[in-house]
Amino acid sequence: MRRWAGAVGRWLAHFGADLRASLDTGVLAVARFVGLLYGPIDPQARIDEALRKALRYRLPGHVTWRHALGGISYLLFMVLVATGVLLSFYYRPSVQEAYASIQFIVSRIPFGWLVRDLHVWAASLVVLAVLAHMARVFFDAAYKPPRETNWIVGLLLMFLVLAFGATGYLLPWDQWAYWTVSEVLDAIGRLPVLGGPLVGLLRGDAMVSGATLSRFFALHVIVLPWLALALLGYHFTLVRKHGVAPPKDPAAVARPPVPFFPHHLLRSFRVAVLVLAVAVSAAALFPRALGHPANPYQPPPELVSTWVPVDVSLALIRYAGGWGFALFTLLGLSLAFLPLFDRTPERALRRRPVVAMVGLVFFLGFGVLWVVGHGVRSVVPRALPARDMREELNPPPSPGLPLPERGPTPPRPAEPSGRGPGRS
Amino acid sequence: MMAAWLVSAWLAAAQPGGALQGVQDTAAYGCVICHADKRQAFQMGVHAERGIRCADCHGGNPASFEVRTAHAGRFLKRPTKIGTAQLCASCHSDPDRMRQYGLPSGQLAELKTSRHGELLFRGNPDVPTCTDCHDAHLIRPPVDARSSVYPANIAATCARCHENVSLMRKYGLPTTQVAEFRAGAHGVALYQQGNFAAPTCVGCHGSHAALPPKVTEIVHVCDRCHVELGRALHQGPHGPPAASGRLPGCLGCHTNHATERVPPDRIAATCTRCHAPESPAAQRGQVIQQQVVEATGELQAAAAAIEDLVRAGRPVTDERFRYQSALTAYQQIAEVQHSLDLDRLDDLVRQVSSLSRAIRSTEEAAAEQRWEHRLILVPVWFLALSAAVLAGFKLSDLKRRGE
C-alpha cells in the first residue's frame, strides 16, 4: 500500500515539475482574464512565482469600494458568459425553433427560468455597472495620461457590451424583440452613406428574417465573445501595467497599502456575492415576460422593452423626439472622446467645470431616462391590418359569429379586350 | 437594325388604337367635336370599351360636321325618364345580346315591379330611371370601384335621393337610413373591415326591383345570410308570430338599417320591450341574460389566462385548442338566443365554463410555480449574507491583528 502511495506521489511530483517547466507566463493571460492577477507584469517569472508575486502584491491604500465597479462589470460579464453557455445548450437559432426553445428553457428545464432571467438581468445590470465604472473613472480623471489608452479600450468594451445586448435582443424571436429590432434597423438604415450598407450586412434580407436571426446569433456567441476576450485581456494588462490611478486628494496617498491576498480578495468576494444575490433576486422577482411569437405581418399593439438602453431610447424618442435622441447620443460620444483632448494634468473637479457638467448631465440623464423609459410603451407606427393570433384571443362582445368572414376581393374590372387596331 | 427598330417604334406610336383612339375617330364619333364635355365620361365607360357609339343611343349622323345634318334623322336629344328606361332596355332586355357579357336581361321587368318603376311609368319626375343610378355616359360595371353601383358606393348613390329631406317628405319616407346603415353592423363590416360579403341597400331591398320587404318577408331576407339564426328563430316561440306577421321578424330586436346588436347585459331589457316585466317570457329573458353574461365572462377570463401564460413563456397550444372549443360553444349560444331553448343554453354555457376553468387552472398552476421560484431567494440571500458577514469578520480580524 505504502509502495503504491509512494509511486503515485512520485508521479505527481514529476507531473508538477513537467507542468511548471512547460508553462510560461503567457498562460497567465487566463488568470489575468479571470481577474486573479494584479501587480506589474514580469514576463521572465515562472508561473508559480508570478502567481505568488501577484498574491503578495499590495494595492494602494486609496483603493476603496468605488473601485469595485469595474470588477462588478467583469463579474456580471462572467455571469453572462456562464448563463449564455447554459442557454446555448437548449436555444435553437432558427425562425421555427427559437421561440419554442425559449418556452422549453423557461417551462421544462430545471432552473431554466433562473438561467434565462439571470442572463436577461445581467445584460441590463452590466450596462449600468459599466456606465457607473466609466463615471467613476471620468470624475476621478483617472483617464488622464498615461491611462488614456485604457479609456479607449474601455470605451470599445462598452460598445461591445451594447453590441452584445443588441444582438441578443432579437434571439427570443417574440413580437417585442422582432419589432424593436426592425424599428432600430430601420432607423439605422436612414442614416446617410453608411446606414444602408450596414443594415444590409446586419439584416441579410429585405426584412428582419431567419437570415437576420442567424447573423445576430453568430455575432452574439462567436464574434463578439472573442473580441471581448481580447479587449478584456488588453484592458486588464493595461491596468496592471499602469496601476490604479493615484488619488485626487494627495493626503490619501499616505494610507497604508492593502495586500491583494487575502484582504482585497475578501473585499472583492463580499461585493461579488452581494451582486450575485441582487441579480438572482431581480431574476426571480421580475422575470422577463415573453411576447407572442414574432409575426412579420402584424406589429404588436405595444412594445415592451426588456433592456436598459432600449428603455433609455424609448424615453428619449417619446419625450425629446428624434433630435433629442441624436443630441443625447452626441453628448455621450463627446463625453467618450473628451479624454482624448483633455490632457492637462488638472484633476480636481472644481477646476474642470465643463467636463463635470457634461458628465453629470449624461450620467444623471441616463439614470432618469432609464426610470422614465421603463414605463414607456410605444406602438409601432407602421401597422398593417391583418388578423393574428392575438386578435383571435379577443373575446367577441356577444355570442354568434361576429360577421361573415371577409369574402373574395371583388374582381378587377375587365381589361378592355385588345380589339382596337395597334393596341399594345 | 437600330434604325429599323426606331422606325417600327415610331410607326407603332403613330397608330390609333383602342377605345380611347376610337372616340377620336370622327367618322364614328364626330359628335365629340362639339360635345367635348361628354367625351371623357363616355370614353371611361364600359360602352366605349364595347364599341358602342353615341349614335347607337342618340341617333343622328356622327359623320357630319354641321349641327343641322348631324342632328338630322332619327335623332334623340335628351331622352325622357321613361324613354331612357326603354332606350336602355332596347339592348339590355335582349338576352341574345346580353349573354356574351354575362348580364341579366330582366332589369326593365324588375324595375316595373319596384316602387321606383311603378311611379316612373305613372310619369312621376322624382323617381330615378336607369341613368340616375348608373350615370348617362360614365357607366361602369358594379365590380369597378369607380362605378356608382360598386358595393362601397351604393349607399351614397341611394342617399342622393333618400337623404334629400324635402324630396322624401313628399313620400313620407325617413332620411336617416344611410347614416344608420353606415353605423350599423353591416356598414362597419363593409366600410371599416372592407367586407364585401356585407349587404348594402340592394342586398336587402333588391336593386332594380327595389322595395322594402314585407313584415312576413323580413325573416327570409335576413335568413339568406344568417341561415342558422333564422332556422333557430323559426324553431323557437318567436317563429310562428314572425311567420304570420304579428312580430316584425328580426327587426323586433335588431331594428332595420341600424342592425343593432343586443349586448349580453341588454338581453332582458330587450325582452321587456314587448313582454310585461313580470311575465314568464321576461323571466326567461333574465335567465338567458344571466347565462350569456356568465359565458362571456368565462371566455374573457380564459383569454386573459392564455395571455398570462404566453407572457410567462409557457407553450399554449393545448390552451389555444381549448379556447377555440370554448369559442365555438360560445358562438353557438347565439343560436339559442333565437330558439330560446334553455336546456341547450345551459349545456353550451357549461361547456364554455368547464373549458375556461381548465385553461385557468393551467394558468394558476403556472402562477403558483412562478411564486415558488421566489423561494430560491431565501437560501440565496442566506448564503450571500453569511458569506459577506464571514468575510467581513475575517477582514476585521486581519485588521485587528495588523496584517
Render A238-293 in DSSP notation, one character per residue.
HHHHH-SPPPSSGGGGGSPPEEIIIIIHHHHHHHHHHHHHHHHHHHHHSPPP--SB
Chain A residues touching residue B384 (CB < 8 angstroms): 273-274, 276-277
For A329-345, what is the mean pLDDT? Answer: 81
Tell me the backbone φ, ψ of residue B160, rounded to 5 degrees: -55, -40
Q: Does B398 touch chain A (CB under 8 A)?
A: yes
- Chain A, 81-120: which have a CB under 8 Å from a chain B CB? 100, 102-107, 113-114
Cell 364554455, residue located: B352
Chain B residues touching residue A401 (CB < 8 angstroms): 331, 334
- Does B55 or B288 have the greater pLDDT score? B288
Is residue B368 over pLDDT 90? yes
For A174-198, what is the mean pLDDT? Answer: 87
Cα(A154)–Cα(A242) distance, rounded to whole angstroms? Answer: 15
The three three-digit cell numbers of residue A284, written as one number: 426571480
Decide: B233 and B337 in contact? Cβ < 8 Å: no
Q: Which of B233, B292, B376, B383 to mutate to test the interface with A (most CBs of A within 10 A)?
A: B376
Is residue B116 over pLDDT 90? yes
Q: Do A394 and B261 touch (CB under 8 A)?
A: no
Decide: B82 and B123 in contact? Cβ < 8 Å: yes
For A178-202, what is the mean pLDDT? Answer: 86
Which residues have C-beta within 8 Å of that of residue A379, sequence separation ≥ 6?
A: A299, A301, A302, A303
| Confidence label for B301 from pLDDT (cuts 50, 70 and 90) | very high
Closest to A79 measured CA to CA, from A262, A278, A238, A309: A278
Least confident of A146-160, A186-200, B254-268, B292-306: A186-200
Which residues have C-beta within 8 Å of that of residue B177, sequence separation ≥ 6?
A: B158, B162, B201, B257
Q: Which one-letter amino acid corresponds to residue A128?
A: L
For residue A395, what are the CA distances in angstroms to A58, A145, A371? 68, 66, 34
Decide: A309 and A181 in contact? Cβ < 8 Å: no
For residue B385, what is the nearest residue in chain A, using CA coordinates? Answer: A274
The three three-digit cell numbers of residue A221, written as one number: 456567441
- Does A42 or B319 have the greater pLDDT score? B319
For residue B93, what are the CA distances in angstroms to A149, B107, B149? 93, 7, 19
Cα(B236)–Cα(B344) distance, rounded to whole angstroms? Answer: 12
Q: Does B384 touch chain A (CB under 8 A)?
A: yes
Cα(B205)–Cα(B32) distance, rounded to whole angstroms? Answer: 38
Q: Which of B19, B49, B313 sits opposite A107 (nearest CB)?
A: B313
- Chain B, 131-190: which have a CB under 8 Å from a chain A CB? 140-141, 143-144, 150-151, 185, 189
What Rg do the C-alpha atoms of chain A give, in angstroms?
Answer: 28
Cα(B60)–Cα(B77) distance, rounded to whole angstroms? Answer: 9
- Complex confidence, ipTM: 0.79
For residue B9, what are the CA distances in angstroms to A97, A254, B22, B167? 56, 95, 21, 57
- pLDDT tens-digit map of B241-279: 988 888 888 888 898 898 888 889 999 999 999 999 999
Q: Which one-letter amino acid corresponds to residue B205?
A: H
- Burial call A220-229: b when 16+ CB within 10 Å, e when fewer: bbeebbebbe
Least confident of A212-221, A254-263, A325-334: A254-263
Closest to A393 measured CA to CA, from B325, B189, B308, B320: B320
Q: What is the DSSP letter of B208?
A: T
| A132 CB neighbour count, 10 Å cutoff | 18
| Element holding A58 (H helix, E strand) | strand A58-59
Q: Does A410 touch chain B (CB under 8 A)?
A: yes
- Chain A, 238-267: which have a CB under 8 Å from a chain B CB? 259, 262-263, 266-267
Q: What is the mean pLDDT of chain B?
A: 88
For B54-60, what is the mean pLDDT? Answer: 88
| Confidence label for A404 from pLDDT (cuts 50, 70 and 90) | very low
- pLDDT tens-digit map of A296-318: 888 888 888 889 898 888 888 88
Q: Which of B100, B140, B360, B395 to mutate to test the interface with A (most CBs of A within 10 A)?
A: B395
Q: What is the mean pLDDT of chain A?
A: 82
The three three-digit cell numbers of residue B342, written as one number: 334553455
Cell 388604337, residue located: B17
Decide: A390 and A292 in contact? Cβ < 8 Å: yes
Q: Do A416 and B18 touch (CB under 8 A)?
A: yes
Q: What is the DSSP letter of B375?
A: G
Cell 318577408, residue located: B217
| Residue A84 C-beta-side C-alpha neighbours within 13 Å | 20
Chain A residues touching residue B323 (CB < 8 angstroms): 393
Closest to A121 measured CA to CA, from A2, A240, A277: A277
Q: Does A281 touch chain B (CB under 8 A)?
A: yes
Decide: A90 and A112 in contact? Cβ < 8 Å: yes
Chain A residues touching residue B140 (CB < 8 angstroms): 413
Q: Do A397 and B296 touch (CB under 8 A)?
A: yes
Closest to B158 measured CA to CA, from B173, B170, B140, B172: B173
Cα(A68)–Cα(A269) distance, rounded to whole angstroms? Answer: 11
Q: Do A274 and B388 touch (CB under 8 A)?
A: yes
| Residue B220 C-beta-side C-alpha neighbours within 13 Å | 10
Cell 486609496, residue located: A62
Cα(A185)–Cα(A99) distance, rounded to whole angstroms? Answer: 21
For residue B11, what is the nearest residue in chain A, using CA coordinates? Answer: A422
Cα(B71)–Cα(B60) distance, rounded to whole angstroms? Answer: 5
Q: Do A411 and B12 touch (CB under 8 A)?
A: no
| Confidence label for B11 from pLDDT (cuts 50, 70 and 90) | very low
Decide: B152 and B146 in contact? Cβ < 8 Å: no
Spacing of C-alpha A28 from chain mean position: 26
pLDDT on residue A345: 74
| A411 CB neighbour count, 10 Å cutoff | 9
For residue A411, what is the nearest residue in chain B, using CA coordinates? Answer: B143
Cα(A316)–Cα(A327) distance, rounded to whole angstroms? Answer: 10
Instruction: Let me know the angle formed at the C-alpha of A39 by A33 and A45, rounded to the nearest 5 degrees.
Output: 85
| Confidence label for A413 from pLDDT (cuts 50, 70 and 90) | very low
pLDDT on residue A406: 44
Q: Do B193 and A403 touch (CB under 8 A)?
A: yes
Q: Do A266 and B385 touch (CB under 8 A)?
A: no
Chain A residues touching residue B17 (CB < 8 angstroms): 420-424
Q: Which of A403, A405, A409, A424 to mutate to test the interface with B (most CBs of B within 10 A)?
A: A403
pLDDT on residue B22: 45
For A106-128, what is the mean pLDDT? Answer: 95
pLDDT on residue A116: 96
Is residue A134 over pLDDT 80? yes
Q: Do B195 and A413 touch (CB under 8 A)?
A: no
| B306 CB neighbour count, 10 Å cutoff | 23
- pLDDT tens-digit map of B229-240: 999 999 999 999
Chain A residues touching residue B312 (CB < 8 angstroms): 106-107, 287, 289-290
Least confident of A312-326, B40-54, B342-356, B365-379: A312-326
pLDDT on residue B85: 93
For residue B189, what is the nearest residue in chain A, using CA coordinates? Answer: A403
Instruction: Let me know the angle formed at the C-alpha of A21 by A16 and A24, rounded to the nearest 5 degrees.
Output: 115
Chain B residues touching residue A104 (CB < 8 angstroms): 315
Q: Which of A269, A274, A404 sits opposite B195 (nearest CB)?
A: A404
Furthest-apart CA pair in chain B: how many Å?
Answer: 131
Is residue A419 over pLDDT 60? no
Is residue B154 over pLDDT 90? yes
pLDDT on residue B110: 93
Q: Which residues pair with A378 in a beta bridge?
A: A303
Chain A residues touching residue B333 (CB < 8 angstroms): 399-400
Cα(A29)–Cα(B270) distance, rounded to whole angstroms? Answer: 82
pLDDT on residue A29: 58
pLDDT on residue A33: 53
Spacing of C-alpha A29 from chain mean position: 23
- Chain A, 8-37: which have a CB under 8 Å from a chain B CB? none
Q: Which of B143, B261, B303 sits opposite A398 (nearest CB)?
A: B261
Q: Do B15 and A401 touch (CB under 8 A)?
A: no
- Does B298 or B78 have the greater pLDDT score? B298
Tell me the backbone φ, ψ of residue A303, rounded to 5 degrees: -110, 120
| Element holding A77 (H helix, E strand) | helix A68-88
| Confidence label for A31 from pLDDT (cuts 50, 70 and 90) | low
Chain B residues touching residue A267 (CB < 8 angstroms): 391, 395
- pLDDT tens-digit map of A170-183: 999 999 999 989 88
Q: Which of A114, A263, A276 sits opposite B395 (nearest CB)?
A: A263
Q: Which of B288, B380, B394, B397 to mutate to test the interface with A (most CBs of A within 10 A)?
A: B380
Cα(A376)–Cα(A196) distance, rounded to whole angstroms? Answer: 28
The three three-digit cell numbers of residue B127, written as one number: 323617381
For residue B220, what are the CA distances in angstroms to A105, A337, B196, B230, B339? 56, 79, 20, 8, 16
Between A and B, how many residue pairs show a Cβ–Cβ distance under 8 A? 175
Minimal C-alpha gap between B263 and chain A (Å):
6
Cα(A353)–Cα(A359) distance, rounded to whole angstroms? Answer: 10
Q: Do A291 and B310 touch (CB under 8 A)?
A: yes
| Confidence label for B83 from pLDDT (cuts 50, 70 and 90) | very high
Q: Which of A100, A103, A114 sits opposite B376 (nearest CB)?
A: A114
Q: Which of A284, A393, A397 sits opposite B307 (nearest CB)?
A: A393
Is residue A257 over pLDDT 60? yes
Q: Which of A276, A403, A408 sits opposite B198 (nearest CB)?
A: A403
Q: What is the DSSP letter of B217?
A: G
- Does A170 or A36 have the greater pLDDT score? A170
Minimal C-alpha gap between B60 and chain A (Å):
24
Is residue B37 over pLDDT 90? no
For A198-204, what is the mean pLDDT? Answer: 90
For residue A85, what are the CA distances in angstroms to A29, A124, A169, A225, A257? 21, 18, 16, 11, 38
